Amino acid sequence: MDATGFRRLWDEIDPIGRADTGGYVRFSWSDADLALRAWFDAQAAERGMRVETDRNGNRFAWWDPEPEQVVDPAAPRRHGAVLTGSHFDSVPHGGAYDGPLGIVSAFLAVDELRRDLRATGATLKRPIAIAAFTEEEGGRFGIPCLGSRLMTGAVDADRARGLTDRDGTTLADAMRAAGADPDALGPDPERLQRIGAFVELHVEQGRALDGEGDAAVGVASAIWPHGRWRVVVTGAGDHAGTTRLPDRHDPMLTFAFAVLAARKEARLAGGLATIGRVEAVPNATNAIASQVTAWLDARAPDEGVLGEILSGFKSKVHERAARDGTHVRISRESETPVVEFDLELRDRIAALLGGAPVLPTGAGHDAGVLAAHVPTAMLFVRNPTGVSHAPGEHASDEDCAAGVDALAAVLRDLAC
């Protein structure tokens, strides 16, 4: 794959959902998402691939072997489809590559593999499918990897239907408006059974590869345990200009303390904690807030450290609320235990790629959800600045082309 070929296909989706901040707003079931789904369908059609949208809104493009090559469908799982792909959705004003790079690279890797099969006469022995999982970021409805978690039964369909976005639109309403049926949401064991392996290519988030010699592509070893908690601080709304300081029960104070406490507990325990989203009621300049809601994102190299961060954070924030005369409720939104990727598959891929670096990540992925069900691996494409979930996210066309070559080699190794 050459960088020009990568850039040509990349430029087809690059404008979709780009905001004037230079970041991307590609929320699931939004117009941008529907445009990306239409692009996905067109790419699949161009390649004669069959498109299916599953009951949870995840899209799949299938490349089936010629009938005479189809192995016995009842054969052990290792003959199941080799799934690749990623997600289209973004965090608000996120980067261009997180998600879409895995889908664009998958279509280009299929092209490369097809050219290779024509040239060598080799044949496809297992189906190859490209997935576009929905709501991976949880950027609209709050639960990350929602589409893959629904498919695997890790999230309850009723809970999902009722999830709301910042405008109060439920997932069910958003799906109906897009012509999808929310009543169909639910586990999809039959589809899972058809998958024999999942390999997700993703832009690196962080910059470990930058120090790894000349490696444009790395292989994931694990995903750190991580989770999200909702922090609701309730106080007493009042007038900013007439309420004496000692008489205040200001939830903003408890919230401000919570932001600092998250950072301190993470530093002490050796992990990461972030409060990047907050909503105040009534959110008025001249009123003391009555309620402040914030979301904590915490991640750590192991469960013990994550637990330390959470227990330290909870006890310190509750203590502070007592001093402020406010009330705080901290509830878990989602939590992902450590994901160790399939060792055999990981080492096979690293060797196939000439000894590619193997590294853990603190970022969550659909691969982290599927890893509990099928042999799963991840490829990371070097991110020279490490920036992600922000407009500055970038990978060079040359490294992205190297990622396509690596993915094509992996698909050939697993499916032919």
Residue positions forming the annotated binding site for Zn(2+): 87, 98, 137, 202, 389
The residue among 224, 214, 212, 225 whose CA lies nearest residue 358 is: 212
> What residue ranges in 88-154 does DSSP mark as E strands?
128-133
Smallest separation, CB 293 to Mn ion (Å) = 22
- β-pairing verdict for 291-299 and 272-281: antiparallel
Smallest separation, CB 364 to ligand HGY (Å) = 4
Smallest separation, CB 253 to ligand HGY (Å) = 29
β-pair partners for 61: 51, 130
Residues of this chain that bind Mn ion (CB under 5 A): 98-99
Residues of this chain that bind ligand HGY (CB under 6 A): 98, 136-137, 144, 363-364
Residue 209 burial class via C-beta count within 10 angstroms: exposed 0-12, middle 13-18, buried 19 and up: buried
Sheet holding 327-336: strands in order across? 272-281, 291-299, 226-234, 327-336
Specify the residue, 5 or 301, whose C-beta has the smaller distance to ligand HGY: 301
Specify the residue, 135 or 405, whose C-beta has the smaller distance to ligand HGY: 135
Specify the residue, 136 or 200, whose C-beta has the smaller distance to ligand HGY: 136
Smallest separation, CB 98 to ligand HGY (Å) = 6
Smallest separation, CB 228 to ligand HGY (Å) = 9
Smallest separation, CB 363 to ligand HGY (Å) = 4
Q: End-to-end CA distance of the chain, in Å?
A: 19
Decide which of Mn ion, ligand HGY, none touches 99; Cβ closer than 5 to 8 Å per partner kind.
Mn ion
Enclosing H/E stretch for 370 = helix 366-370
Decide which of ligand HGY, Mn ion, none touches 144; Cβ closer than 5 to 8 Å per partner kind.
ligand HGY
Specify the residue, 254 or 334, whose C-beta has the smaller distance to ligand HGY: 334
Distances 288 to 99, 186, 285, 358 between C-alpha atoms, Å: 40, 43, 8, 50
Smallest separation, CB 99 to ligand HGY (Å) = 8
Single-letter amino acid, residue 350: A
Specify the residue, 135 or 324, whose C-beta has the smaller distance to Mn ion: 135
DSSP state of 394: -
Show binding-site residues: 87, 98, 137, 202, 228, 286, 299, 389
Smallest separation, CB 202 to Mn ion (Å) = 6
Specify the residue, 99 or 127, whose C-beta has the smaller distance to ligand HGY: 99
SS3 65: coil
Decide which of Mn ion, ligand HGY, none touches 364; Cβ closer than 5 to 8 Å per partner kind.
ligand HGY
Specify the residue, 62 or 295, whose C-beta has the smaller distance to ligand HGY: 295
184-198 b/e with 16+ CB inside 10 Å = b?
ebbbbeebbebbbbb
> What residue ranges in 88-225 does DSSP mark as E strands?
128-133, 195-203, 217-223
SS3 353: coil
Specify the residue, 124 or 381, whose C-beta has the smaller distance to Mn ion: 381
Enclosing H/E stretch for 336 = strand 327-336
**Are the CB atoms for 381 and 13 separated by under 8 Å?**
no
**Are the CB atoms for 335 and 303 separated by under 8 Å?**
no
DSSP H helix total and E strand total for the chain:
12, 15
Show binding-site residues for allantoate: 228, 286, 299
